[in-house]
Amino acid sequence: MENDDIYSDKFEKAFDLLSKLGKGGYGEVYRVQQTEMKNVLDETRKLIKLRSKFVIQYYYSWIECNYLYIQMELCVDNLSNLLHTKKSLFNELMINSQFYILYEIFRELTECVQYLHQNKIIHRDLKPDNVLISMDGRIKLCDFGLSKEVLNCDPFRMSKVKHTADVGTDDYMAPEVQTNEYNHLIDIYSLSLIGAQIFGFNTYDIIDGKNKDN
């Protein structure tokens, strides 16, 4: 790869090109926005818009010494930690009360995802770390830095649109994400993997369509 290509690739990943300001004898001048800061600001805007029991509550934000501070609702834990402690809390043979608790967690999680899709937002990074448990025991979603707002589609039949490739966590990423053309069903794929973990199913049945050992 040529050096110019390397620098161009770094530039495109680090900045969003807004406009070309001018051109001189040794180069060109562009107006840009740092991608990381843009993602943070986008997440803040989505939190302001999504004021609901299904999403972590946004309170206030401010910029100080070139840092963006966001004040949000305090949650007691996340689903990732709960899944790690589940085996010590529950016996291998699940009794009715234990199943009911897990069922309620998953039911509330599906309602959270449904709420996003009804508001024409694809989360694109659903995973146990981004599923929070509020002080009153409710399930809430967080981390909307990679989410995508799709304005020109039906909330229940989102058309396939082109997106950026830099999306989500590999362990929960749907295969079609690699094509850069997908819809809200990538969230359903991630949701199914989380559900398999909650209820103790083999996630490879979903990932490969077969048992890992086969």
Q: How far apart are the first and last CA of the chain?
A: 40
153: tokens are 């589609």
Q: Which residues contact 32 (CB under 8 A, 6 or more apart)?
A: 15, 16, 17, 18
Tell me whether residue 20 is exposed, middle or buried, using C-beta atoms within 10 angstroms of its C-beta: 0 to 12, 13 to 18, 19 or more. exposed
> Residue 165: how many CA atoms within 13 Å on its side-chain side?
4
Instruction: Please confirm, yes or no, whether 125 is among the known catalytic residues.
Output: yes
CA distance 183 to 163: 9
CA distance 181 to 161: 5
**Residue 43 region by backbone torsions, left for phi larger than 0, else alpha for psi between -120 and 50, else beta:** alpha
Q: Are strands 15-23 and 28-34 parallel, antiparallel or unpaired?
A: antiparallel
The structure tokens 């559900």 sit at 195
> Among 5, 9, 42, 125, which one carries the catalytic annotation?
125
59, amino acid identity: Y
Q: Which residues are catalytic?
A: 125
